[in-house]
């Protein structure tokens, strides 16, 4: 993982020279990069994988971009720079999955890694918007974490969910809407409207899954013990 940390340092250095990063920016970006390395190494050892693999390497590259976004957010960097890094990260979002399928390397670790990168990126964008639109926007970025936390207390929430195309659409829409809102291309009133729509769709998606899980519990299906491999792979 050392090359990744070197790449993260290079990215933060480039951002520092071009747009400027304060101590907070370096601390945030460095922390995200370091925590990613530690957790990914733990995940690889837990899954028994011998190497990162091509698909996870793409996701790891995305995580470095997210570290850059976190650095910009913490240092109050320009919205344009945040949008550029986020756009590249989102563009690569479908690449890792495609590579995994074509190389027959789809795994629970890869799905979890991809989801965590997406979730943190959305949260970082919400932090930016909370400063101008209002703290309610943070609900979008925190909802997934609240779902995971609830699963610790209510194991029946950790039952694997059926694949749903609508869930993927809602997840993709969050990124598009948040990037558009951060870019400032929309009038203030329109920004509130689209963000409200994104939050509504997210609540609907999570709510439908919770209802389905509750039905499975009522039907007497046993809930698995919470583990790192049981995740909700999308909003």
Contacts of 51 (CB under 8 A, 6+ apart): none
pLDDT band per the 50, 70, 90 thresholds, residue 174:
very high
CATH of 2-218, one of 1.20.1630, 3.30.2450, 1.20.120, 1.10.3470: 1.20.120
Q: Which residue has the tokens 């693999």?
A: 53
Measuring CA to CA, which residue among 189, 188, 185 is closest to residue 176?
A: 185
Q: Which helix (H) or strand (E) holds 190?
A: helix 188-218
Can you tell me the distance from the alpha carbon of 118 to that of 141, in angstroms, rounded to the nearest whole number? 10
pLDDT at 49 over 90: no
Q: Which of 38-42, 88-92, 179-183, 228-232 has the lowest mean pLDDT?
A: 228-232
Can you tell me the distance from the alpha carbon of 125 to that of 178, in angstroms, rounded to the nearest whole number? 6
Q: Is the dihedral of CA 107, 124, 175, 33 positive or negative?
A: negative
The domain ranges of the chain are 2-218
Region 97-124: mean pLDDT is 85
> In a 3-state reduction of DSSP, which class is residue 7?
helix
> What is the pLDDT, as a whole number, of residue 163?
83
Please give the structure tokens belonging to residue 26: 């370096």
Portion of the chain with pLDDT greater than 70, in percent: 93
Global pTM reads 0.87
pLDDT at 227 over 70: no
pLDDT at 1 over 70: no
Within 10 Å of residue 25's Cβ, how many Cβ atoms? Answer: 23
CB-based contact 125:79 (threshold 8 Å):
no
The conformation of residue 104, written as its DSSP 8-state character, comes to T
pLDDT band per the 50, 70, 90 thresholds, residue 136:
very high
Contacts of 54 (CB under 8 A, 6+ apart): 99, 103, 105
- End-to-end alpha carbon distance in the chain: 29
Q: Which residue has the tokens 């999955």?
A: 97
> What is the pLDDT, as a whole number, of residue 54?
81
């Amino acid at each position: 993982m050392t090359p990744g940390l070197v790449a993260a340092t290079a990215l933060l250095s480039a951002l520092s020279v071009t747009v400027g990063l304060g101590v907070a920016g370096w601390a945030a970006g460095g922390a995200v990069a370091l925590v990613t390395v530690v957790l990914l190494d733990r995940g690889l050892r837990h899954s028994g994988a011998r190497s990162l693999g091509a698909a996870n390497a793409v996701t790891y590259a995305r995580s470095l971009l997210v570290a850059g976004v976190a650095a910009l957010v913490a240092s109050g960097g320009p919205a344009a720079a945040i949008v550029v890094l986020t756009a590249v990260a989102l563009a690569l979002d479908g690449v890792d999955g495609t590579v995994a399928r074509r190389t027959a390397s789809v795994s629970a670790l890869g799905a979890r890694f991809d989801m965590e990168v997406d979730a943190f990126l959305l949260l970082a964008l919400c932090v930016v918007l909370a400063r101008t639109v209002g703290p309610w926007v943070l609900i979008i970025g925190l909802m997934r974490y609240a779902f995971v936390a609830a699963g610790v207390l209510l194991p029946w929430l950790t039952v694997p969910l059926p694949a749903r195309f609508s869930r993927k659409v809602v997840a993709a829409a969050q990124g598009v809407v948040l990037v558009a809102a951060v870019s400032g291309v929309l009038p203030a009133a329109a920004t509130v409207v689209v963000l409200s729509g994104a939050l509504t769709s997210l609540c609907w998606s999570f709510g439908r899954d919770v209802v389905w899980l509750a039905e499975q519990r009522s039907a007497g299906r046993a809930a698995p013990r919470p583990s790192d491999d049981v995740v909700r792979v999308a909003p």
